[in-house]
Chains A and B, each alone.
Chain A
Amino acid sequence: MFLEFVEGPLWYASVVIFLVGIAIRFYEILARGVKPDLAVPRTDGTAGALRTIVSRSWTAKGFSSGAVFHLVAGYMFHIGLFVLLFFAAPHIVFIEERILGFGWTAAPHWVFIAAANLAFAGLILLWLRRVMHPVMRKISTFDDHAAAWLTFIVMFTGCMALLEGHDGLRALHMLSVCVLMIYFPFSRLMHAFTFVLSRGYTGAVMGRKGVQA
């Protein structure tokens, strides 16, 4: 009964809030527009935007030593989560049956285990760093902690339900997924989509000024 509710009405409501929320956020960002640049552009802004979108995927020269922890733990978490989300067998079945109507080959079991370990270890390390590092602690807000914990809970309940033998555990996982999807558009989790805009904007502005950002 509870599983039917979570996978039925609550799931559809979460999807609607997720999609509409993301659309509103994108509209808000794009509607702000860009300040008119009266100076003659030195180089093409598009090239600068594309370059910065890629180059911000690693630390800038001179900042490497202080950012090793974030770089390594960050990639551990994000790559692990990506593999879990799109290549775990139960997720592919769900995507095929409930969303797209087609699926693809799941990752081998050992890849799944490695990805889960990387994702969990990375997320825990990043959050601990946020709490323990004096500067990180000061610049962190409730949203940062809530996003980290919600993501962890989704992953953890997914891990609990791995055996796929009990509806209660599956319902718990789906419930946490729905909560995360509802929270997503109104939180910093939006960086999953907006990083392209922010990096692209910075790169374009700097590119027109002739600066490699």
Chain B
Amino acid sequence: MTHLPTEEKRQRYRRGLRWAMALLAFVLIVPLIPYGIVAAEGQLGSNTADIWRDARNKDQRDAFRTQIQGIETAVLINNRGEQWRTFREKQLVPYGGYLLLGTLGLITAFFLFRGRIKIEGGRSGKLVPRFSSNQRVMHWFAAGLFVLLGVTGLILLYGRYVLIPLLGPEGFAITASASKEVHNLFGPIFPFAIIALMLMFGRGNMFRLLDFKWFLKAGGLFGGHAADSGYYNGGQKSWFWMTVLFGIAISVSGLILDFPVFGQTRELMAGSHLVHGIIAVVFIAASFGHIYIGTLGMEGAVESMTSGYVDSNWAAEHHNLWYQEMEKAGMVDVEPNALEEVKRHDDIDFKGFGQPNPQTKEG
């Protein structure tokens, strides 16, 4: 074993340290050389915009490659996400909230001003059949889905603003998670409910001249007598078509969002989300009016969708032309007869069950 003098050992150690430092400097400096060359040629500053443009893939060029193959996986920064987020937070959430709360406020003010619209002649006790049990089943099926999807959708849209202060972050996280799953699972059923509504209530819902007269008098909402009305009035027809058109739009956009496995781009997803959110908020606000006038706002209206029968005075006041038809057909003051009703359903003959007669020309 060789024993080196202490001074020699020290020198060898210093030499080693110097080599190590030089190697480290080399490793750190070498990667910077290309940048130095570019900077020396004055190109670094002008290339920044190109780099960021490529990163955002604004020119739709295949600028980047990635191991992950899929739609837009080579886009490092997707502007659509930020645009969607900004619109959602700065416009959809506040303006949607104003619309929903404003509609509720208007309805409340209207109720305080106008009160409940009573049956002027009081209840006669004579019943007129209005909606079959099949129609009522489909109405409540669609209504139940609408309420469930509406509530869960509003939780997803407004939950972080409204529920976090009430439930705390953890409570909101659980509620939002449950709402998202319920919304996504029940959503695909809604299109079928809309189709069923179209089939069950489509007949008699085409607009006629009569309905515009009804609109001019605001359906008698602010007093005075409403204009003549058949089986459906202008307001009911408007709600029907709003349900159909909004229902189709919200269903299509919802399905695009719910099943993102068909190559949808971020742009399509963001657009669908905006359409879905905007229509949903308007749809829900409009439904407040429908629910109000069908229950609290008007005496005798809700019975048509619960028992299927309405009071004859209600029918004469709000749907006078239809009432006259029913009177002629001997369908006024009928006893709610279960077996008779079943027979009518089985025959699928709505002629005697208060459906509008296509031969009758209104307006």
* Chain A residues within CB distance 8 Å of chain B: 65-66, 69, 113, 116-117, 120-121, 124-125, 128-129, 132-135, 138, 156, 159-163, 165-166, 168-169
CB pair A132–B174 under 8 Å, yes or no, is no
CB pair B181–A162 under 8 Å, yes or no, is yes
Q: Any chain A CB within 8 A of the CB of B177? A: yes
Q: Any chain A CB within 8 A of the CB of B180? A: yes
A112 to B, closest residue via Cβ: B185
CB pair A132–B178 under 8 Å, yes or no, is no
CB pair A117–B338 under 8 Å, yes or no, is no
Inter-chain contacts of A117 with B (CB < 8 A): 185-186, 188-189
Q: Any chain A CB within 8 A of the CB of B133? A: yes
CA distance A125 to B188 in the complex (A): 15
The dominant DSSP class at the A interface is helix
Tell me the smallest distance from the CB of B347 to a CB of chain A, in Å: 9
Tell me the smallest distance from the CB of A154 to a CB of chain B, in Å: 14
CA distance A168 to B136 in the complex (A): 36
Inter-chain contacts of B177 with A (CB < 8 A): 160, 163, 165-166, 169
CB pair B189–A135 under 8 Å, yes or no, is no
CA distance A156 to B182 in the complex (A): 8
Inter-chain contacts of A159 with B (CB < 8 A): 181-182, 185-186
Residue in contact with B178 in the complex, picked from A116, A134, A169, CB distance below 8 Å: A169
Top 8 A-B pairs, shortest CB-CB distance = A134-B338, A160-B178, A162-B181, A132-B133, A128-B137, A132-B136, A133-B133, A66-B346
A-B contact pairs, 15 of them (CB 8 A): A113-B188, A117-B186, A125-B141, A128-B140, A129-B137, A134-B133, A134-B338, A159-B181, A159-B182, A160-B181, A163-B180, A165-B177, A166-B173, A166-B174, A169-B174
Inter-chain contacts of A165 with B (CB < 8 A): 177
CA distance A160 to B179 in the complex (A): 7
Tell me the chain B residues, 177-205 only, with Cβ under 8 Å from chain A: 177-178, 180-182, 185-186, 188-189, 192
B187 to A, closest residue via Cβ: A117
CB pair A124–B338 under 8 Å, yes or no, is no
Q: Any chain A CB within 8 A of the CB of B40? A: no
Inter-chain contacts of A65 with B (CB < 8 A): 346
Range of interface residues on B (Cβ < 8 Å): 20 to 34
* Chain B residues within CB distance 8 Å of chain A: 133-134, 136-137, 140-141, 144, 173-174, 177-178, 180-182, 185-186, 188-189, 192, 308, 336, 338-339, 341-342, 346
Inter-chain contacts of B188 with A (CB < 8 A): 113, 117
Tell me the smallest distance from the CB of B188 to a CB of chain A, in Å: 5
Inter-chain contacts of B144 with A (CB < 8 A): 124, 128
CB pair A121–B338 under 8 Å, yes or no, is no
CA distance A124 to B186 in the complex (A): 12
B174 to A, closest residue via Cβ: A166
B343 to A, closest residue via Cβ: A66
CA distance A65 to B134 in the complex (A): 14
Tell me the smallest distance from the CB of A75 to a CB of chain B, in Å: 15
Tell me the smallest distance from the CB of B145 to a CB of chain A, in Å: 8
CA distance A160 to B181 in the complex (A): 6
CB pair B336–A134 under 8 Å, yes or no, is yes
Tell me the smallest distance from the CB of B308 to a CB of chain A, in Å: 8
- Of B134, B144, B178, the most chain A CB neighbours within 10 A belong to B178
Inter-chain contacts of A163 with B (CB < 8 A): 177, 180-181
Residue in contact with A135 in the complex, picked from B137, B185, B336, B342, CB distance below 8 Å: B342
Q: A124-B141, A160-B178 are in contact. Are A134 and B192 (CB under 8 A)?
A: no
Tell me the smallest distance from the CB of A183 to a CB of chain B, in Å: 23
CB pair B339–A160 under 8 Å, yes or no, is no
CA distance A134 to B339 in the complex (A): 8
Q: A113-B185, A160-B182, A169-B178 are in contact. Are A132 and B137 (CB under 8 A)?
A: yes
CA distance A138 to B180 in the complex (A): 38
B171 to A, closest residue via Cβ: A168
A157 to B, closest residue via Cβ: B178
CA distance A69 to B137 in the complex (A): 11
Residue in contact with A138 in the complex, picked from B174, B192, B338, CB distance below 8 Å: B338
CA distance A166 to B167 in the complex (A): 15
CB pair A132–B185 under 8 Å, yes or no, is no
CA distance A133 to B346 in the complex (A): 12
CB pair A168–B174 under 8 Å, yes or no, is yes
Inter-chain contacts of A121 with B (CB < 8 A): 141, 189, 192
Tell me the smallest distance from the CB of B183 to a CB of chain A, in Å: 10
- Of B137, B141, B174, B341, the most chain A CB neighbours within 10 A belong to B137
- Of B136, B181, B182, B339, the most chain A CB neighbours within 10 A belong to B181
Tell me the smallest distance from the CB of B299 to a CB of chain A, in Å: 22
Inter-chain contacts of B346 with A (CB < 8 A): 65-66
CB pair B178–A161 under 8 Å, yes or no, is yes
CA distance A159 to B178 in the complex (A): 8
